[in-house]
Amino acid sequence: MFLQIVIQEGDRKYQRFLWRESPDKPVQCFEMERLVFGAKPSPFLAQRVLIQLASDDESRYPVAAKELKGHFYMDDYLTSYLDKDKAVSTITQLVSLLRGGGFELTKLASNNIDILTSVSEAQEVVECVQWDSESYMKVLGVQWNSAEDCFAFNVKLEDIVCSKRGILSTVAKIFDVLGLISPVITYAKLIIKELWCLKIDWDEALPNSICQKWTRFVQELPLLQDFKISRHLSIVKNSTVKLIGFCDASSAAMGACVYVHVDTGGAIFTHLICAKSKIAPVKYVTIPRLELCSALLLAKLIDSVLSVFKSRYEIDQLVCFSDSQVALYWISSPPLRWKTFVANRVSKIQELVDNDGSEDYIPRFKGSSPDQGGKVDGMPPFPPPPPYGDGAGDSQVALYWISSPPLRWKTFVANRVSKIQEL
């Protein structure tokens, strides 16, 4: 992709390099005429060229131009469609648009064989990739099985030394951009935090207590290969779509997760969209303040989800849940009432998800007591978020984490927190 982009002659001096054919030859100075790999501005320039290409040909390819601006990450195009014919039409436009700028779309993968067949017959791309049920391909670092249309995690463990260096190296190899396995990653982060608190050197022998925790983690880590999560969110035409977020915190960590609640008219589905966790600071922070931090974490997370969903779906309802009465009281009050730490976070939360601009102000953050959503089949009113991660071996927790049965509520009660028993 980079080598398809020509640099203006006046700017080529910034891409000069020295070269000689052999040690006995003089050093020569050259200039790269094309965009080089490895330079800091190269990724930005590549994306900017695509955006400019879309703007220039927007009148000829309106659908493709919109997709090019919003769904490309470098040279990868990722999106989904409710209609097969629309998918084929968009891909055809997109290929023509990119080809006009000197870019060739070389590979196409889809979970629908009809789309691959239609595009292949039109010879719009060089290769249509068809995968079997056992094959996975990387989609921006995430393993995707197109036959089953699910995401998975490929964990490869080599000889792991029980040291600070070995632990950090192993955890860094687990790529989870959506936070789908946040409970597992959080467990590893807590071990790392303990190492830093003990001020252990990189290759120093670790205490037995930490080695035992790490050994258990490593033994259960391969079980992640059996963990699969559906890519499809069950959203079809005329569906009612709700976004529900949960946040929680403990003295060890805090976390937030966002689910989509889909009512198709004949069935209700819930799916985990994304999650995020953070380890509590080494310096002591009260639980209510950590709960407030988790609420801010959720506010940022759900704002990010909304920025994507709003362009594709009509969101019928947005609600965020916290089980902290103190945090809820803070959030439902004017920020100026509180000290700096609380005021700053409350202000940001209200800015992101809590202030709808209406006179009848109803906070979107709600409690999770039985009268505000209730318990379903004896289960707690919200799923166990990342702070309670405990390894990778519990399949029931994994199923609970993905689908969250308690979210099959028909309504959500919007109650303002007016008083609390304790502060």
Whether 360 and 254 map to the same domain: the answer is yes
Q: Is residue 409 part of a domain?
A: yes
Whether 240 and 227 map to the same domain: the answer is no
Whether 180 and 253 map to the same domain: the answer is no
- At residue 413, the pLDDT reads 42
Q: Is residue 80 part of a domain?
A: no
- At residue 338, the pLDDT reads 93
> Which residues 6+ apart lie within 8 Å of 97 measured at CB?
53, 54, 57, 60, 61, 64, 65, 68
- At residue 364, the pLDDT reads 66
φ, ψ (nearest 5 deg) of residue 78 = -125, 125
- At residue 140, the pLDDT reads 74
**pTM listed for this prediction:** 0.82
The stretches of 156-207 forming alpha helices (DSSP H) are 164-172, 182-197
Whether 329 and 415 map to the same domain: the answer is no
Whether 178 and 201 map to the same domain: the answer is yes
- At residue 408, the pLDDT reads 46
- Token pair for 36: 């080089």
- At residue 362, the pLDDT reads 39
Q: Is residue 59 part of a domain?
A: yes
Residue pair 227/153 in contact (Cβ under 8 Å)? The answer is yes
Kind and range of the H or E element at 386?
none
d(CA 274, CA 268): 19
Report the 10 Å Cβ neighbour count for 84.
13
- At residue 105, the pLDDT reads 83
The candidate with the shortest Cα–Cα distance to 162, out of 200, 218, 209, 206, is: 206
Domain tally, the chain: 3
Whether 188 and 111 map to the same domain: the answer is yes
Whether 407 and 312 map to the same domain: the answer is no
DSSP label at 355? -
Structural domain including 96 reads 2-75+91-104
Q: Is residue 375 part of a domain?
A: no
- At residue 309, the pLDDT reads 87
pLDDT in tens, the chain (423 residues): 899 999 999 999 999 999 998 999 999 999 999 999 888 999 999 999 999 999 999 999 999 999 999 888 888 888 888 888 999 899 989 988 999 999 988 888 888 888 888 887 765 555 666 655 567 788 777 888 888 888 888 877 777 778 999 999 988 888 888 998 888 889 999 999 999 999 999 999 999 999 999 998 888 888 888 888 888 888 888 889 999 898 999 999 999 999 999 998 888 888 899 999 999 999 999 999 999 999 999 999 999 999 888 888 889 888 888 888 899 999 988 999 999 999 999 999 999 985 544 333 334 666 654 333 333 333 333 344 444 444 555 555 566 677 664 544 444 444 444 454 444
Whether 151 and 95 map to the same domain: the answer is no
Residue pair 51/98 in contact (Cβ under 8 Å)? The answer is no
d(CA 52, CA 46): 10
Q: Is residue 171 part of a domain?
A: yes
- At residue 418, the pLDDT reads 46
Q: Is residue 379 part of a domain?
A: no
d(CA 62, CA 262): 30
Whether 361 and 351 map to the same domain: the answer is yes
> Which residues 6+ apart lie within 8 Å of 188 measured at CB?
167, 170, 171, 174, 217
Whether 284 and 405 map to the same domain: the answer is no
